[in-house]
Every structure is written in C-alpha cells, then in structure tokens.
Structure 1
Amino acid sequence: MSEQSTSFPDGLPRVRAEIDLDAVRVNVRTLHGLAARSGAGVMAVVKADAYGHGLLPCARAARSAGAEWLGTATPEEALALRAAGDTGPVLCWLWTPGAPWRRTVEAGIDISVSARWALDRVTGAARAAGRTARVQLKADTGLGRNGCQPGDWPALVDAARAAEAEGVIRVTGVWSHFACADEPGHPSIAAQQRVFAEALARAERAGLRPEVRHLANSPAALTLPESHYDLIRPGIAVYGISPSPETGLPQDFGLRPAMTLRAALASVKRVPGGHGVSYGHHYLTPGPTTLALVPAGYADGIPRHASGTGPVLVAGKWRTVAGRVAMDQFVVDLGGDAAEAGDEAVLFGPGDGGEPTAEDWARACGTIGYEIVTRIGARVPRVHLGAEPGPGPEGGGTAEDGETMSNMKNMKNVINASDSVRSGA
C-alpha cells in the first residue's frame, strides 16, 4: 500500500459520502437471483433515505436492477417516490392517526394496516377520495412492534374482507417481520414461521386472496429460503452490508458495500510529546508526533462512541481516532508519517483499498453497520456514482442531471454534483 495520501481536488466538500449505484444494482440482482430460486420477487427497502444512501437515486437503481416493489417506513418517503415519477408498487408501513391517509390512497401506495383503527382510517380516506385503497395486513408473529396480535387477527381479517367486498379496499398483501433471523437457529424463527402460516390460513378462510405474502427481511432473504413466499424484503443487504456479520461478510453473500465516506484533512501539525488532544485530554501524545485533523464530527453522524477507537485510513495506513470525537472534527495521530492539509482520509468503504468498512466502525463503536451508514448527516453531501440517464425512478436515472437526495427531514435536494467526481478513482 502506498504511503502517500490522495489529495482532495479544489472545490470538493470537506467530507462527502460517495454512493456507488453500480454496487446497489449488483446487490439487487444478487438478491433477485436468490429470490427467483424460491419463485419470489424483491421488495427493495429504501426507508430512511435509503439507509443514508439517497432515496431517489437508490430507488432508481433498485428498480433498474429488477426490484418489483419498493418499501418505505413513512408516507412522506412513499409520496416522494411518486412525486419523482415512480409508478411501480410501493408499500408504506409506519402510520399514525394524523398521517396523510387520503393523499397516499390517491397516490396508489399500498398502506400497511396492523389494527382496526388504521383500517377505519384507510377506509375513510378511500371513501373521501372516491378510490379503492390498496391495503396490506401485517401480523405480529412475535417481533412485538407493529402488527396485529394473533388474538385480534380474525376480527381484523373479517373487517378487511367486509371492506373489500364493499369495494372500499383491496387487500393486496399479508406480511410480517422476523425478530431474530440474523441469529441462525434461534427458536423464535420457527415459531414466527408457524404463526405466519396460521395467519395466512385464517386470511384465506375469510376469503382474502392477497397478491403477495412476505416475511423475509435481509438475513432471512440470505439464509432462510423457506421464508421467501412471494417476496423477499431486503433492506441493509441492498446497500451491501451484511445483516449478520457472524454468519457471513458481504462478499460471502455476493454483496458489495455502496457507501464510501471520505474527508479532506483540515490541518496537519507537529506537536511535542505529552500534548493533550481534544476535549478532556483523554489522549496524550506518547512523544513528538504529527496530528491530522479530520473535519467531520458527531454533527455529521460520526459516532461519539468512536472516540479512541474509530479506524481511519490516512497516509496509507489505518489510524485510530485520537481522543474524543467533537461536533465537527476529530484528530488522528500520524506518528512519524507525513501528510498535508487537503490529503484524503477514508473513514470507511468497501475495503478494496485497505480502508476500514462500516462493519469495522460498528465493531469499534459497539453497534451495527445499519447505524453507521444511516446516521451520516444531512450536511454530508451524497455524490452518486454510476447514475443512468432516465426520466425518473423506474428508468434508473435522475430526474435532473447530477441531482442527489439528502436526508428525509425535509426531502430537499442538497447537492448538485457530477457523477464522475471521485477522488483517487
């Protein structure tokens, strides 16, 4: 490995998240191949700004790679897809009483229903809109979050069937979610599969004939083919991160991490031994050394728990965060190595160039890879590489050349960058 750093060209931001859309497409095709063996399709989950990778570009990439469905948590996410031109099937599952029920019905988005109050809301919205609502019933098979409990399931199913007979709704799906699919052999896996089978049987006896039945999240999609039903519903795997590092790394599943987080060093200076570094002086230099300042901190989504542990590739070697991560910056000790302001620091990426991965950061912080990528903040621009031309999400391209999407707080565009920009590529 070279001992020299790659310098950030002028005009690039202090820190940026590069999103490899070709990797997203490869991952979706890999997952589609797994699903096809079971006769299933793919619902690519793009919630939380596509796990921090950019909602619209990743939705387009997933569609172009064969994802028949998209999945979102909030109705705002689903409506953003429609506003950008996506006309394919979309499921939205996190609802509150004050949510935009009517607009979502009018947009032809599938609405997940877990309780009678939600069914009442969606039927009311459908009548107001003068349009049949698309509804998917969610069963709580053991996760204990959203979903209808087994004891309440018959009543919900019967009420949904009555509304369907009236023409107010169409029950398009029945689904649930695993609690421990990332722990192979966990007894809850088989138990949830039994409860789901019973929920499906009860729905069928009531006269429901859903288009899709789905249970498998990322770990189940990769390791439990018997749970695939009509759709698999991968989330983190779409972005190339293993949902269960204990059972396999991304490459073991044919996945490639899509996000690389890069920063330009803001300062490089020599300091004497015994010099305190960052708040609290939890790190003292062991001798005369060179300190490099990375201009990214917890306001950008760098975990404060990475203080003293987070790995960074600088000047051709892995370094560790020296002292505390601050709001906008952190320091690494280069020892006797040389660097200059503007040289590149790679916090994480696929690992091809010797850089740490998101999973390395997760281990350093005592968390999971999901959190590392989704917490990267709004002020970190996403630069999407490998975008295809096209009019909207289903074309796999961009609504406007170079447009990328940032956080889901305000759903506004925050950067206009060339897809060809990659430092050191």
Structure 2
Amino acid sequence: MSALAEALVDLDAVASNVRAITSVTGTSLMAVVKADGFGHGAVRVARAALRAGATWLGVTSVTEALALRDAGVTAPTMSWLHGPNDDFGILIKSGVDIGVSTTTHLHAVADAVHLLGVPAMVQLKADTGLSRNGAAGDDWPELVAWARKYEREGGIRVRGVWSHLVDADLPGAPELSRQVATFEEALRIARSAGLDPDLVHLANSAAALSAPRTRFDLCRIGIALYGVDPFGATGPGEFGLHAAMTLRTNVINVKRVPAGTGVSYGPEHVTGAPTTLALLPLGYADGLPRAAGGRAEVWLGGRRCPIVGRIAMDQCVVDVGDLPVAIGDPVVVFGPAEGDQSPPTVVEWARWAGTNPHEILTGIGARVARDHLHGRARTS
C-alpha cells in the first residue's frame, strides 16, 4: 500500500449485488454510478454491473456521462441533473438519455437538436412529492404537451417517464402509496397526450426490494449496488447484499501514556488509566466524519478499538488499551466481516456520524487510493 490509506473495491461483490437484486425485482436494473460510483469508481463499477446483468447506467451530469463514454462504456445511460445552459448537444451526440424536469430544459434540448440535426432521447420526470426536481401540478401537463409536440416533429423521442421517492426505506410509510398514485396519474396524463414511453421507472434501492408496486419496467439501484442494505442491516441482511468497499490503513505511531493524558484537540478526551494510543493517518479530509469522534471504532489487533478525541483533518487516535500494537500494523476502518474479522460497517459509521452510508462512501477523499479487486485479484 503506497498511499497512507486505501479503499479496496470488490467488483465481484458489485456483480453479486446486481444478481441478488434482480432475483427479487424481476425487472431490468439501472446501476446508479453518480458521484464516481458512490466513491467506488464509476467506470469499473459500471462495467462490473453491466457484466452481471444491469441494462442501464444512471448519472447526474454531463461530466459524469462523458467520463463513461470516454472510457468506452456504451451502455444505455441517463443523466438527469442539468442547468438550462448545459451542453445538451454533446449528450445527444454521445447517445445519452437526458432527464428533463421543466419546459425550460426541454426547449434547450430541442434547440440543441435543431443545431445538430440529430434527434434526442429524453425521459420526463414527474415530481410526485419529493419537491426537488421534476414537474408537478399544472407544469406536468404543459411539459408533456411540449414533449409530444417535439416528438411529432421528429426531433425528440420520449423514451421514459420517471420519478423519485421520499421515504421508501421506511416500509409501510403512507407517503409511498400516495406517491405511487400520483405517479400513476402522471403516467396516465402522459399517455393521454399521446406519449408512449418504453421505460417507466420509480423504484430506488429500498422500493425495489420491498415495494412491488413501484417496480414498473426498471429499478434504479444506488446504495444497494454497493452492498449497503437500505433498511439499515449491518451485514448482508435478508437480501444477501455484500459490501463492496473496505477502507483500511496502517498504524503510523504508537505511544504508551499515563492516566490523565489529553488526546487530540481540546482535549475532549482524557485517558482514565494508563493505555496505549495508536495514530492513524486518516482524518476528515479523507472521509472520516469529525462528528464520529468519541463514538467510532476500527478493527485493530484482532478486535474493535475506539477512536478517542477529536478526529483531525489528517489523522485520528485509537485507544488500544494493553494490546501489543506496533507501527505498521494493519487497521480496517470499515468493511465486510471476513473469517474471524468483524470490522465496523459503513452503516455503523453512518450512525456514529449521524448521517447515512451514502455520505460516508462518497466522502472518502482523493488521498485514499482505490484498488479494484476481481476474483480477489487487483484490476487495472
């Protein structure tokens, strides 16, 4: 390990997760690889997911879509978060479907079509209650009407109609049923206007696994693709998901200290007895949330040991008690259980930090090397 820390990404776990989810949904899957594949590496995750049976890729920007195309990934891809002045022409030329939520964006796509002389594939998004992107109320029939006009003129093809859910990770939440009903009405309006989308999709990871009414033609899989149970299980859970990332480092300093020793800034932690402190070269610039200090643990010396004191930008301190720890000893910050190792999971880290696993995974910094494994061997 040449870097001070590394994130091992198990591409076989990604593939296994695709197969496990498909066995539940019985639908096509869109592998969501935005934010550099939730910090795992978008291109390599995309390839692994496609090999395992995913049929679509999902990203949120022109930059992310082009990174896939530049790497030779030609699979159907949708990009759905844009400014009205984005370069829609390059998305059209690259064969990327454009998620459209407003008439302003739709007109901009139509203008790009006019300049290029090449038709565009769009997927219209309805706002069914999240109050973020998507068209709601009277804006939806207007968007649909304009889309149908452009479709009749031959410049735009509406390939999909879709939306996103509010709280599908809370099974039985009443909002889910309301959103499904709102989405079905939006779909009825679109079809009544003459649109005939090939793809209708609503389900995210949680809904795909637990709410059959939301599955339609395609399920968009984000966090579950990376082996995190959307309902909070810390292991494979009932769906057999396997964590794809292991974050690890090595001890870079060790010192024996007496009782009453302050640790890190503040100090917010003072040792209550003689103990050994191990220094790790990972901090909040590398993705360890400062808020997790005093609660988080790592796997070191064959057991879980607590992080004590404030997590700093580049480092943190672990209290190992009387363990015979030495400089260079391996540390697992989070990852799946293997053999007799039971390191913390990314779900636990999220709880310690008061956030979600998505933020932990996407927050792993650029100083942390990524090593991708396939069949437990590194891939380029």
Same fold (TM over 0.5): yes
Q: Which residue of 1 aligns with 2:118?
A: 131
Write the distance in 2 (CA, Å) between the matches of 1:376 and 1:99: 28
Q: Which residue among 380, 401, 408 is the counterpart of 2:368?
A: 380
User: Aligned letter for 1:383?
Assistant: D
Deviation of residue 226 (structure 1)? 1.6
Q: Which residue of 2 aligns with 1:264?
A: 250
Matches within 5 A, 1:30-41: 30-36=20-26, 40-41=27-28
Matches within 5 A, 1:7-406: 11-36=1-26, 40-245=27-232, 250-352=236-338, 353-386=341-374
Contact 2:43 2:73 in 1 (8 A): no
Contact 2:99 2:124 in 1 (8 A): yes
Deviations 1:402-423 (A, max 9, x none): xxxxxxxxxxxxxxxx7079xx
SS in 1 for 2:202: strand
User: Aligned letter for 1:47?
Assistant: K
Could you tell which deviates more after superposition, 94-103 or 45-54? 94-103
Deviations 1:300-352 (A, max 9, x none): 01100011111111111111111000000000111111111110111100133
Write the distance in 2 (CA, Å) between the matches of 1:268 and 1:420: 34
Stretches (4+) displaced over 6 A: none
Deviation of residue 243 (structure 1)? 1.4
Write the distance in 2 (CA, Å) between the matches of 1:339 and 1:272: 17
Distance 1:285 1:420, change over 3 A: farther
Deviations 1:267-318 (A, max 9, x none): 0111122111101111111122111001000110110001111111111111
User: Aligned letter for 2:222?
Assistant: G
SS in 2 for 1:105: helix
Write the distance in 2 (CA, Å) between the matches of 1:19 and 1:225: 30
Structure 2 unpaired stretches of 5+: none
Write the distance in 2 (CA, Å) between the matches of 1:370 and 1:317: 26
Deviation of residue 35 (structure 1)? 2.4
Contact 2:8 2:245 in 1 (8 A): yes
Distance 1:94 1:256, change over 3 A: same
Structure 1 unpaired stretches of 5+: 1-10, 389-417
Deviation of residue 12 (structure 1)? 3.1
Deviation of residue 101 (structure 1)? 1.1
Write the distance in 2 (CA, Å) between the matches of 1:83 and 1:316: 43
User: Aligned letter for 2:6?
Assistant: R
Distance 1:420 1:144, change over 3 A: closer
Deviations 1:165-209 (A, max 9, x none): 111111000000010111111111010101111111111111111
Contact 1:281 1:323 in 2 (8 A): yes
SS in 1 for 2:23: helix
User: Aligned letter for 1:335?
Assistant: G
Deviation of residue 250 (structure 1)? 3.3
Contact 1:57 1:387 in 2 (8 A): no
Deviation of residue 249 (structure 1)? 5.1
User: Aligned letter for 2:302?
Assistant: G
Contact 1:269 1:291 in 2 (8 A): yes
Q: How many residues align?
A: 378
Q: Which residue of 2 aligns with 1:7?
A: none
User: Aligned letter for 1:103?
Assistant: I
User: Aligned letter for 1:303?
Assistant: P
Q: Percent identity?
A: 50
User: Aligned letter for 1:265?
Assistant: V
Deviations 1:110-140 (A, max 9, x none): 0011110000110111111110001000000
Contact 1:348 1:357 in 2 (8 A): yes
